Structure 1
Amino acid sequence: HARDELQGVPLSGIVVVSDGGDNTDEAIGDALLPLRAASVPVFTVGVGDEEMEADVQASRVDVPETALTGTSMVVNVMVDSRGYAGRTVPIVVEDMGRIVTTEMVELPADGQPLVAPVAITLETPGARELAFRIPGQSGERVLENNVLHSVVQVRDRTEKILYFEGEPRHEVAFMLRAVRADENLQVVLLQRTAENKFFRRNLDDPLELVEGFPTTREDLYRYRALVLGSIEASFFTHDQLDMMADFVSERGGTLLMLGGRRALAEGGYKGTPLEDVLPVVLDEPTGSTPTERLAFVKVSPTPGGANHPITRIESTVEESAARWDSLPPVSTTNLITELKPGATELLQGVVVESPGAAPGAVGAAEDAAGLESTGDAGDRVVMAFQRYGRGRSMVLAVQDTWLWQMDSTVPLEDLSHENFWRQLMRWLVAETPDPVEAAPAQVTVEAGEPVTLEATVLDAGFVEVNGAAVNARVTLPTGETRNVPMEWSVSEDGRYTADFTPDMDGIFEVSVDAGRDTVTFGNAETSVRVAPGTEEFRDPRQRVSLMERIAEETGGRYYTPETAANLPEDLQFTGGGVTVTEERDLWDMPILFLLLAGLMGGEWVYRRKRGLA
């Protein structure tokens, strides 16, 4: 900023008094290049401690941009601390100033970051400002870095999921019953009952899916997630298989494939477009019968899945682990043991004795595959997911989770099955984009700082739309609204931008509508938080190495507060551009005296000739 404001002025040097904290996106090397080119040295005076003796900082929080009302989220809060190893502190979560939960954590040794999973549930729709706060501790000098703010768009709407099942089985009825009471989920069922005969349920329109599984992208892309049950790959045309792969990679939807005798490798999906989409490695089919492949697995969360919002079926991690341990084994006919690179395993299964088997026996699939009867050899991938293109894919490789509700060992009041499926279905639609999406370039700004709104507009087939009429309606914290037209960015298809400048603190809610002629493409909602910046308080210590680098690369010198008294003297010998001011009396400058005398004499001659003297 100093360089820009003093552009064109000869400088002997620039003096910077700072702790070296850099809260801009510009690389420091790029900022120094013009100064080096102009031979302007920078003299840096470092202030602050190189290391804070006692400090607690909320460094980062991973909060989704949107959520359905009533969704249970597990938010990871990263905490850095020094001087408080072993101390137990609370992480207090506030929703618009109201405390919604408190998580107690033990601070680690100095220099070791702590990632604390915090479970929260948001019930009120709209733009919700969340604060993750750690109370100040004794001896802390900087308290501004103890809190992080985030804004979540909580949506109260119904999300449609298409569930295609290839045969009648108990899993269908119990899964639908588990999510029936959730008003934010609509699971549309298409179940094959015989050759070219289907049972349809939970439809919006009597003609929906009347011809069976969708054959066009527009029909499939109206759903936000797709669940495939025990249905063989040969049922679909190659175009439909390609379309389902594009549903994930291009539309951004989520695909869930359930276990079953006609699913995964046993369903012939190896070598199809969906093989690349799935998060697990499909082996060659063994040719064995479903009865021969049948195995019973005891399911438990993996270390990476213990705190996942799907598998956390109780209020705490410990209670959830105990609940999983109490659930009965379930069966599988799909031998899945290997993940793809980048996939995340949430649930694992250890093969246990099947009913009537001798102690220590494993399933027939292990015998057919030549596996030994060891715990590791019997481990199965039960549930895993990965990102694929714009969307996500998941595999749940068991076929009778309904046993978690109906087995004789499960208490009548146990809601593990219902919680699991409700949280799973909500996770499937959590990140699926709409045809119209909007977001600010910066989610938090200060009052008076310009904000750039960005929107993406797609049609029903999720193809970019140019030349649409796009308008952003901005609602101020006072309730007043402003309309901000958005212009198409010619450099990028389907992208629209607009600028506005908030003039007060608070949450600015933005609603974006897009259409063309009589066609409406959709609506998107986002928000901007306006508040004083706190970036300068992050990691409050002096970056000596950065201050020394700035001085060294520009020909200046680094000072501490103790040596800063030498700075004025050093500035006199910089050799940089200097402006010297010299004052003289007018009569000491002959040329100006003669010019003035000539002008006065010329005037007298002129007046004499005109008779004016």
Structure 2
Amino acid sequence: MTSLQLEPIYDSAVVAVMASIAVVIVLILVTPPTENQIHRRWLIALRSVAALVLVLALFRPGLVRTETRAADATLVVAVDVSRSMTLPDDERADRWTHQQQAWQQLAVGLDAIRETMNVRLMGYEKNAVELAAVQDALDGIAPEGELTDLAAAATSSIALAQGQPLAGVVLMGDGTQTAPLEGPGAERVAQTLKAWGVPLWTVPIGPAGGPTANRDVAIESLPESYHLFAGNTFDVSFQVHLRGMAGMAVPVQLNWVDQDGNVTVAAQRRVIAETAKLTEGVTIPVRAPQPGTYRLNVQAETQSGETITSNNIQTAFVSVREGGGRILYVEGESLYEQRFLRMALRRFPDLDLSYQWIPRDTASRWPLPLADGFRPGKYDIYILGDVDADAIGREQLANLAESVSQGAGLVMLGGYHTYGAGGYASSPLADVIPVRLDPSLRRDIDAEVPANAADQIAGPLAAQLSRNHPITDFGGKDPASVWKRLPPLLGANRWAGPKVAPGVQVLLETTKKEPLLVIGEYGRGRTAALAFDSTWQWWREGKSEEHRRFWRQLMLWLLSREEDAGDRIDLQMDARRFAVDADIAFQATLSSVGEANTPLDWIAEVIQESGEVTPVSDVSETSTASQRSFSGKIPTLPPGYYRLRVRPTDANATIKPESLAFQVIDQSREMSSPVADPVYLRQLAEITSQHGGGAYSYEQIDELIAQITKRRRQAEAPVIEKATLGDDPLSGWLLFLLFTGALVTEWSLRRRWGLA
């Protein structure tokens, strides 16, 4: 409606009327002083125009237009762009597709009221970002957010209005909060909207649970790696989590996957879910395959209704070596040598050491039964320390001799009660030991050992290399120089000499050519006689690497598994199975005891299953006189199987590359639960129900549009638009120009016509 309105000066009509009358009186009484009627009329007309303009300025007429409409406001629509929206919603489509359809329908329906409402579209996951509020805004977007923060979405919706009144907030998504809360939750923001009188409308998308939506099978707690020996049986232990599968039997299968990708079934089981939610520990004995590197996959069969299947499988990395070594170490003196020897051998996963101590104070009960420890096939290697032959007994020693003849290894250490002094010269082992023994040196168990005993060589003794052999070869161009640098021995046994037989060799001797280490063969087994028992001195004086290598190489020779004595890279990783965002370090160590052929430069590479090689750039190197370490970080990789390889850059280097397989897995919290939480979104909307807030499914968008439109109509109020003469620059200047123009023209004419 439009009407005319006067706004006199000083808001007083009386003042305006009196001033107007004064203007008219002046106009009538003050007439132009001329008898020329034409001149007179022109001057009166110009004065009348000026008077009219003055009167209009006194009364200030204007037009007033009144209409009813809603004030401008902002509607914020927040859509979920996290990865959980890629999960299925129902049989027809996933959650993202239904959210796209909901937004498109909403955008079209709101076009009719966009003149009074500014629609802002926002995508949220852990953070929120504004999107173009057009119908196809979500077509080119992929939901990739790793976490969902509903509180951040609600808070950002308020901030997005930028000071303009909020018409309401529309929150779409599955309602699952996966991001850790760092401030007030979404409930607090909804309470704020309630206090402001702003409605919150939610559009829950995703299944709310039930007997099938809740179904899930997960394999967990499988060890990351195994070190096995070919043909051995070992236990594979893991946990099976079953949810929503009461009364169902879930097949679980263990598969070997070799380096070429060939799959072999290792074992199969069925896990029966007796309750709706079950966690059951499973242990399955499995026989190790042929030597090599494998992946052991423990996989549960996918069940009908499962939404997330990535947790149905877990992988362990397996290194299988040829024939593991089972060692029985029998000792009579619990001194330093046994302590450091056991520590050295237990460092190697392929050597399984059992220790048996027979103290001297049990002599009254000798021989002590050692169960079936010497039965052929029970152990692969036997170590006899400073233990008297009577402590073991002839029957058990005869079994030991038979075990060696059938392929076991035997090593005898030096000591005061071993070899001839320990009664072995007249025992069943006399023919097994590769040195000649003198039965006349037999020493009583309680007898004192004289300082110049005939069977002892006083120390310190420098062990020197008699001939090169895999047992004594520490690598480098001159193995003898390594032995010269080792600390001297504290003493040794004196033998009558090595036996003259095929396979008998003297590997170490004193500077006077007295044998210190003699090896030989007996039947299908191998034997070694050591005249000393003080190699622990090497470890104590910083030669631990030489100590470990010597004993390992001796054990491997007894097993007929000699290794190349050259330097090797020891590669380790913080973890072999880790999440995409994990910070995993690796370290490669090269220890050298000979003349090190250490490469000047190393390179670390990540090799994908496809064979593509990616260099690792984040690396550093540290070096000492005998050791070089190369460390770095595994780069961020997508889920999958990989190999980390460390090698020298010099292709001609004698050091072989070393590699470790690992797996990058998807452990996203966003994808850990297939169930949406529409109840939570409804609760948020109900907080603002007194202001029109509510929850609508993606199929009820028309009802939501109607509610928003109704809310906008309820917000309508009379809007008055007034245009008063002189208030705006255009009308003000027009009045001024008319008034001054009339007066200036009247004055100019009077001058021209010679009037006063």
TM class, shorter-length: 0.3 to 0.5
- The structure whose residues are more often helix, as a share, is 2
Q: TM-score, normalised by structure 2?
A: 0.35
Structure whose CA Rg is larger:
2
Q: TM-score, normalised by structure 1?
A: 0.42
